[in-house]
Structure 1
Amino acid sequence: MKSGDKNYMHRHDTDALYNALVEILGADCVSLDAAVAEAHAGDWSDAPRMRPRMTLLPRNPEDVARALRVLGEHRQAVVVQGGLTGLAGGATPQAGEVALSLARVNAIESFDRIGGTLTVQAGVPLEQLQTFVEAEGWFFPLDLGARGTCQIGGNAATNAGGNRVIRFGTMRDLILGLEVALPDGTMLSMMNRVTKNTTGIDLKQLFIGSEGTLGVITRIVLKLEPKPSAVNTALCAVASFDDATRLLKYLRARLANLSSFELMWQDFMSAAMDIAHLKAPFGDTYPVYVLIETLGESDDDDRRALEHSLERMLDDGIVQDVIIAQSIEHAKQLWAYRETVGELLSKLKPHAAFDIGIPMDRMNGFVEDARAALNERFSQQAHLFFGHLGDGNLHLLSGPYADAADLLKVEELIYAAVNDVQGCISAEHGIGVIKQPFLHYSRSAPELDLMGKLKALLDPAGILNVGRVTK
């Protein structure tokens, strides 16, 4: 076949698919525009950017299902995109894929102000949802640094965790019901609105955390909490990781409203101060820093309880120094150290960004060994450690790496070490394409086999988020 014949066939296939999608969705929902394609060419990860073959912008969940049906009939691979804030490359198109964006599928549909549930479409940004329910006296506890951009459907697809898992759990714990468009265009409705439901297999759990490989989440029923009226924040300096764990145990026993316990090692704090031009919080430097937040009903009572607890820890030598926020603005200043992550990610590119799960009793040894190994083999790069101590989620930023081979060596080193301590290679960011080659470190061969069988059952045409999570 001549080159001209191949080009003609490619154009013909594109025209046929384009025409079929326009017929079912409308011309305003199907784009071949290069600028639109470029805007959908990648997420926040270091996965190589790739413009999609075309970009779909459905207006509602029904459009999503109709689009999948057409794509399936044409055997056209599709990547699902939310806010494009992912760090595992799951939303970055592969060669020849169509991008399906949920940005327009963004309605807040119903609100049960008595039972505290909210039904939303998948494209609603997290921060918009938080603001909406708080204006009504309710509270959605999931919180992430990317809150202004990430979408609730993506949060569900990756089982996002964030800063408050210690009290409220992951996204899986905040979802009552789901609606999912299957790869063949079937709309699977699991829109449960009650907490107790024992009517057989809880099918929604198949899709939460599956990263869009089994179906596209289109609607979600969320479980809300009463809006807290008191927020207290403190930053503590401690002499060791062991002291941080003692502090955590003490506060868990005495502060029922403890919502965040964020750990930052000195290397991370130094980098945070440098990149965001922040002042050192204390007169001296310390090996470990802990950012604490409580959410409750009585500001005075909660503050007194926090102050009393931290005073006791100071007296016992568990805490070396402490700052308790005196205002909302002061609390933001304390959180600013922790929330420099986005800037650090940009500065350290190309980087290895790890969000690993480590058993608590193995975490200190893991950090010490990993830091020593990285400093020995990659002395020119920064290696920054921080995490959500209460749920065992450790983050590590390492970079920049000009050589892709070195980047691969770092990933192999860390993931093998995670396997040695019986941890998991992803605690909240997902597997995507970047971590897919290392999934065997966290999942057994029978588990991977069953994942593949589920994929084949629900997506027999093999069109949806191919190459993400499983091969």
Structure 2
Amino acid sequence: MSTQLQVVERCRVFLAEQQIAMGDAINIRHYTDWSNYKRIQPYAVLFPKNTEQVSQILSICNELKQAVVPQGGMTGVAGAGIANADEIVIALDKMHKIEEIDQYASTMTVQAGVTLEEVQNAARQAGLFFPVDVGGRGSCQIGGNIATNAGGLSVIRYGMMREHVLGIEVVLADGRVLNLMNKMIKNNAGYDLKQNFIGSEGTLGIVTRAVLKLSAPPSELSTCLCAFPDFLSAVHLLRRLQKNLTTPNAFEVMWDEYYQLSLSWMQNSSNPLTQSYPVYAIFDVEAPAESLENLLADMFETGEILDAVIAQNQAQAQQLWLIRETVPAEISSTGRPLCFDVSLPIGELGEFKEVCQARLDQHFPDLVSLFFGHIGDSNMHIILDLKHLPEDQLESVMTGIDEVVYGVVREFKGCISAEHGIGLLKRDYLHYSVDENTLNMMRQLKQLFDPNKILNPNKIFK
């Protein structure tokens, strides 16, 4: 009997038949994540209903030295949730309870399989606000958001997932349960062990429950689209907003190639501005309309803003945001996207874009590279559609593009991953952003928490 089958048979003692999927019973969504990097059917998918069952599964797997891959909503784009054919998946789908909303502490206690959208809606119904927001909100799960330290549109004002996790419950590779649940903002009792698991991509333990910090809902937002002669003018607007009004709830920059493609894909939509420009920014800000208009008028006078439109209602605001959101959604649904998320000092992002695009154009003249992203928090996204490439060329072209993009990131002393994690896709380039001493310390942490190397093996580093 194979090790994998031994695990499954021992798990049948405490898991119901519908909590075990094998062979054709495995839904194809467990084959790959949104990266579509590899499509592999795992040996089996187990669906625990509570922390105790996660603990029992891991205890058996650790004893038999069987590799395990935790999966959430599979909305990651770095391959961290992809399992090999000889690996067993632990899917958190059935752990989807919102256990408590504490109005006084402004916290929500949830199981790891609750989706981000469910958390957002529950907070809203309680008169509160959970600010982490990403495009896959309806599918991604809180456990995965924690495991990848999710970012999204609102990071510039509210911070990444790490800033919104007060406590977690996590199961270690050997089945031990760490109770790190906590509702207090101030808790200085020794090492803050939860930080080791936030952003660890399931390589150190499996998060099963969490205490999330909620915020007061934002006041009415003004949504604005501006056009600029260059990238640094967009940065100057951001700093003026922060100095004279407040930090925007979101601040997204797009270059013209991206902007024009988005307009061409939006149905029944025309350019809300008078013409095309080199660089655009769309942002939401809590500010009186008059104050915002005066600030923009000042920058019109200096020539730093060339054109602008302020949404007059929610429908117009949504239409403006569609310009930012259409391209990734369209390429994901109809193409074969290759996505990058990198970070650099904000003042160098414009120069980075020019250098990176020039090198991509030089080496891959038939591919269009699109630049955009959460520039306010130094995060740039690059997306290319590889759907027209022959299947036998995909791997070599993807590797070549990786080498170009991450090579430029290395030259600029930036980071190869701003918010998507490392997983499989960025593993071989991690040393571009992390020195050898730090990598060795990461490996020592892995050895401490998972000495048999059963948890999400070969993710982050080999």
Within 1, Cα distance between the matches of 2:354 and 2:311?
A: 31
Within 2, Cα distance between the matches of 1:157 and 1:126?
A: 13
| Aligned match of 2:332 | 345
Does the alignment pair 1:194 with 2:184?
yes
Query: Do the aligned residues in 1 keep the contact of 2:232 with 2:347 (CA within 8 Å)?
Result: no
3-state DSSP of counterpart to 2:227: strand
| Aligned match of 1:165 | 155
For residues 43-85 of structure 1, what are the alpha-carbon distances to aligned partners after superposition, in whole Å with 9 as ceiling and x for unaligned? 1113211001011111122221221112212221111111100
Which of 269, 273, 291 is equivalent to 2:263?
Answer: 273
| Aligned match of 2:201 | 211
The verdict on how the C-alpha distance between 1:114 and 1:257 changes in structure 2, with shifts beyond 3 A counting, is farther
The residue type equivalent to 2:425 in the other structure is: I
| Aligned match of 2:362 | 376
Give TM-score, length-normalised by structure 1: 0.94
Q: How does 1:414-433 map to 2 (within 5 A)?
A: 414-433=405-424
| Aligned match of 1:440 | 431
The residue type equivalent to 1:217 in the other structure is: V
For residues 72-130 of structure 1, what are the alpha-carbon distances to aligned partners after superposition, in whole Å with 9 as ceiling and x for unaligned? 12221111111100000111112311111111111111111012111111111111110
Q: How does 1:85-100 map to 2 (within 5 A)?
A: 85-100=75-90
Query: Do the aligned residues in 2 keep the contact of 1:137 with 1:227 (CA within 8 Å)?
Result: yes
3-state DSSP of counterpart to 1:226: coil
| Aligned match of 2:385 | 399
Deviation beyond 4 Å, 4+ runs, structure 1:
none
3-state DSSP of counterpart to 1:23: coil
Within 2, Cα distance between the matches of 1:270 and 1:368?
A: 18
Within 2, Cα distance between the matches of 1:90 and 1:154?
A: 10
Within 2, Cα distance between the matches of 1:281 and 1:68?
A: 54
- Shift, 1:440, TM fit: 0.8
Which of 104, 107, 114 is equivalent to 1:114?
Answer: 104
Within 2, Cα distance between the matches of 1:253 and 1:33?
A: 58
Within 2, Cα distance between the matches of 1:465 and 1:276?
A: 39
- Shift, 1:311, TM fit: 2.3
Gaps of 5+ in 2: none
3-state DSSP of counterpart to 1:25: coil
- Shift, 1:312, TM fit: 2.2
| Aligned match of 1:318 | 304
Within 2, Cα distance between the matches of 1:257 and 1:134?
A: 22
Within 2, Cα distance between the matches of 1:14 and 1:188?
A: 26
The residue type equivalent to 2:330 in the other structure is: E
3-state DSSP of counterpart to 2:342: strand
| Aligned match of 2:31 | 41
- Shift, 1:200, TM fit: 1.1
Within 2, Cα distance between the matches of 1:19 and 1:173?
A: 41
Within 2, Cα distance between the matches of 1:240 and 1:433?
A: 35
Query: Do the aligned residues in 1 keep the contact of 2:170 with 2:207 (CA within 8 Å)?
Result: yes
* Higher mean displacement: 417-426 or 314-323: 314-323
- Shift, 1:265, TM fit: 0.6
* Higher mean displacement: 57-66 or 437-446: 57-66
Within 2, Cα distance between the matches of 1:63 and 1:225?
A: 33
Query: Do the aligned residues in 2 keep the contact of 1:353 with 1:398 (CA within 8 Å)?
Result: yes
| Aligned match of 1:356 | 342
| Aligned match of 2:72 | 82
The residue type equivalent to 1:139 in the other structure is: F
Within 1, Cα distance between the matches of 2:440 and 2:150?
A: 24
Within 2, Cα distance between the matches of 1:289 and 1:397?
A: 17
Which of 445, 452, 458 is equivalent to 2:449?
Answer: 458
- Shift, 1:36, TM fit: 2.1
Within 2, Cα distance between the matches of 1:303 and 1:137?
A: 25
The residue type equivalent to 1:254 in the other structure is: N
3-state DSSP of counterpart to 1:225: coil
Give TM-score, length-normalised by structure 2: 0.95
RMSD: 1.5
Q: How does 1:288-327 map to 2 (within 5 A)?
A: 288-295=279-286, 302-327=288-313
| Aligned match of 1:468 | 459
For residues 315-364 of structure 1, what are the alpha-carbon distances to aligned partners after superposition, in whole Å with 9 as ceiling and x for unaligned? 33221111111111111111111112122234441x43110011112211
Query: Do the aligned residues in 2 keep the contact of 1:37 with 1:54 (CA within 8 Å)?
Result: no
The residue type equivalent to 2:303 in the other structure is: G
For residues 22-45 of structure 1, what are the alpha-carbon distances to aligned partners after superposition, in whole Å with 9 as ceiling and x for unaligned? 112222211214142423111111
Query: Do the aligned residues in 2 keep the contact of 1:24 with 1:67 (CA within 8 Å)?
Result: no
Query: Do the aligned residues in 2 keep the contact of 1:80 with 1:212 (CA within 8 Å)?
Result: yes
| Aligned match of 2:93 | 103
Query: Do the aligned residues in 1 keep the contact of 2:274 with 2:307 (CA within 8 Å)?
Result: no
Within 2, Cα distance between the matches of 1:101 and 1:316?
A: 55
The residue type equivalent to 1:416 in the other structure is: G
Gaps of 5+ in 1: 1-8, 296-300
The residue type equivalent to 2:331 in the other structure is: L
For residues 205-225 of structure 1, what are the alpha-carbon distances to aligned partners after superposition, in whole Å with 9 as ceiling and x for unaligned? 100001110000111111111
Within 2, Cα distance between the matches of 1:390 and 1:142?
A: 15
3-state DSSP of counterpart to 1:258: coil
Q: How does 1:172-183 map to 2 (within 5 A)?
A: 172-183=162-173
| Aligned match of 2:246 | 256
